[in-house]
Every structure is written in C-alpha cells, then in structure tokens.
Amino acid sequence: MNKIGLALGGGAVLGAAHIGIVRAIEEHGIDVEYVAGTSIGALVGSFYAFGKDWDEIEAIATELKWMDISGVSLSRYGLLSNDKLGRLIQKYLGDKQIEDAKIPLAIVTTDISTGEKVVLNSGSVARAVMASMCIPGIFHPVDLDGKMLVDGGVVENVPISTVSDLGAEYIIGVELNAKHTYKKPKHILDVLLNSFHFLIKNSGKLHVQKADFTIEPDLSSFKRSDMGQIKALIKKGYTEGKERLKALE
C-alpha cells in the first residue's frame, strides 16, 4: 500500500479548518505516514506529527487570542514579533526537535534574502513554525542558521513536493484559499493579509495540481484575521473534509 503524506497549506486563521480535516482523516482510518506544513499548516501539522489528537489541538486553538501569539516588534523588518508563538509551542510540545516527531515532519519557509525555499526537517520545532508563519511585513523574519526566514507560502503554500520528498507516495493536499472570497479590509492587518494571499493564491493552484487527492473547503464566509471564528472553522473543516473523503472509499 502506498505511503500517505499530508500537506497542510497556509491561510492565516482559516487554518483552524485543518483541525477539523485532521479529525475527518482520523475517523476515516487513514494512516498518515508523512506530514508537511506551510504557515498555519506548519503549526497544526507539528502538533499532529507529535501525536496530538484533533481534540487536543482543538482545545489549544480555541483558547488562543491574537495577543497570545504576537507582540509589538522593535525590529525594522516587521510590525510584530511572533516570539510568543514559539513559547506557546514549547508550552504544549516541550522543547522538541523536528526529527523527534512521531510522524516524519517537514516545515516550509522562505529565505527572504534569496527567495529560495528552505525546508526544515531538523532543529527546533518552535523556531521552524515561527519562521513558517512569519508573514512578511507583519512579523519580523526569524534568524536561523544565518538565514532570514519568512512565511513558506511565498514559495510553496501547499507543500506537495515537500511531503513527496519526505517519502510520501500518495499525497493528500489541503488548500484553504481555493474558494475563499475577500472582504473589504477593516484595518492594516486585513490589508497586509489580503495582499499577501493575493500573491500566493495563483501559485497555490499549481501546487495542489501535483497532489493525488485534494481537500478544498469552502471558507468564503470566514475572515483570515478573526480568531473568534476558530470553532466554526474547525466544524466547517470537519464537515467538508468528511464529505470529501468519501471519494477515497
């Protein structure tokens, strides 16, 4: 039987839908042997790869507030710091290394100096996820091994090739942006998020074409920056993931 890989894409707060999709995958009895994540997909994917069940991940996510994962930055490279995010990951996972994951894990980031994709499959989980979720302009880059790393969505928003390189032979890709509609921005965060995701939307289409099976939930009624939607997003991901996975039967 083919070894199954799960590629979880970026999408800011919309990433809560990943949790519901993970639940649907677990209930469907699918044995995921490799995980790759970009941006918010790196966060959910890391918890999953280290053995957290969907309900444990849900409990963590539903308690989060924007100020829990960000703080004002003194850097000239970004408005905010996501150092708090790193501490939160360490709180729930401990000071773990990527190579210690129960399911082989890879996290996608971008070298903002060169534009090259940097795949992290060893080293600190917390630092890797911080880098992968570092939306340019909003968060200041994460310095790692002499490189300035930012959100992996710049280069591969749905990490299909990355999970394939881990060894996956059959790939399930989750794309959060395919059916998303954009609202009129209400503040600078919305402006920056919309701008960033406009840039990565078209490239995301090319990435998911390489997947063997895709899940593209309709998240058009949700906002990318409203953390009050997390429970509803998890439910939506579960409902649509469960329905879509029937096709695998």
Residues designated as active site: 39, 151
List phi, psi (to 5°) of 231.
Answer: -60, -40
Spatial CB neighbours of 132, under 8 Å, sequence gap ≥ 6:
37, 38, 39, 42, 43, 107, 108, 109, 120, 149, 151, 152
Distance, CA of 218 to CA of 47 (rounded, Å): 24
**Cβ contact 232:223 at 8 Å:** no
Distances (CA, A) of 201 to 157, 159, 197, 209, 233: 8, 14, 6, 13, 20
CA 152 distance to own-chain centroid: 9
The alpha-carbon radius of gyration of the chain (Å, integer) is 16
